[in-house]
A and B are shown apart, each in its own frame.
Chain A
Amino acid sequence: DTGVSQNPRHKITKRGQNVTFRCDPISEHNRLYWYRQTLGQGPEFLTYFQNEAQLEKSRLLSDRFSAERPKGSFSTLEIQRTEQGDSAMYLCASSYQWGYEQYFGPGTRLTVT
């Protein structure tokens, strides 16, 4: 069991650029979650997938954000036209379909300059 992996670990981009992050969940997990964590705060839910279906999106997920999980395995989170307020740690977690335990990856730290 290799755990949840995320790439890249760090990303620095200029305001207005697009960025894409990747998450590889634990292989047998059906559910995949994206969270955002800003400094000094707990993670905040963005969206989640069950297999390839995106079942819920938070109001935090503006139109500039899009997430996919095309084959029910890895997922990507894209942010278009980045803003300084998008600077945060983006965390991915996975779980079994009917399991409660969510296991987090190491996160991708985004800095928008």
Chain B
Amino acid sequence: QQQVKQSPQSLIVQKGGISIINCAYENTAFDYFPWYQQFPGKGPALLIAIRPDVSEKKEGRFTISFNKSAKQFSLHIMDSQPGDSATYFCAASTGGSQGNLIFGKGTKLSVKP
């Protein structure tokens, strides 16, 4: 049972465009939703995260939109750059006494110059 579903599997965007990656979750106990960026051969790097008490969080060119009723959240990368080309993972956790992350399957982003 996949608790976090991520789409699309791959994405090609032109430089300067907007990249949008979507995730849906099933467990209403999740209360923390991070996005990670991973380059080949490297570990995942925390990019941005949101808690369900807000609907949007922005950090630089990266924005998370969160829809609690639909159980969906998305990552928007504005002004996408070739250096953003990587695999992006959404994740969710219940935090507190557990805190292990449940990851989506990832989206491979390619930004064309």
Q: Which residues of A contact B (CB under 8 A)?
A: 4, 6, 31, 33, 35, 40-45, 48, 55-56, 58, 91, 93, 95, 98, 100-107, 109
Contact = CB atoms under 8 A, between A and B. Distances in A.
Contact of A95 (B45, B91, B99): B99
A100 B49 contact: yes
A42 B99 contact: no
B99 A100 contact: yes
16 contacts: A31-B99, A40-B105, A41-B106, A42-B105, A43-B101, A43-B103, A44-B103, A45-B101, A56-B100, A91-B44, A95-B99, A101-B49, A102-B34, A104-B43, A104-B46, A105-B43
B105 to A, nearest CB: 5
Interface of B: 6, 32, 34, 36, 41-46, 49, 89, 91, 93, 95-106
B34 to A, nearest CB: 7
Contacts of A95: 99
A106 B49 contact: no
Contact of A102 (B89, B101, B102): B101
A104 B89 CA distance: 13
B91 A42 contact: yes
A104 B47 CA distance: 12
Contacts of B93: 100
Q: Most chain-A CB neighbours within 10 Å: which of B36, B42, B44, B91?
A: B44
A103 B105 contact: no
Contacts of A40: 105-106
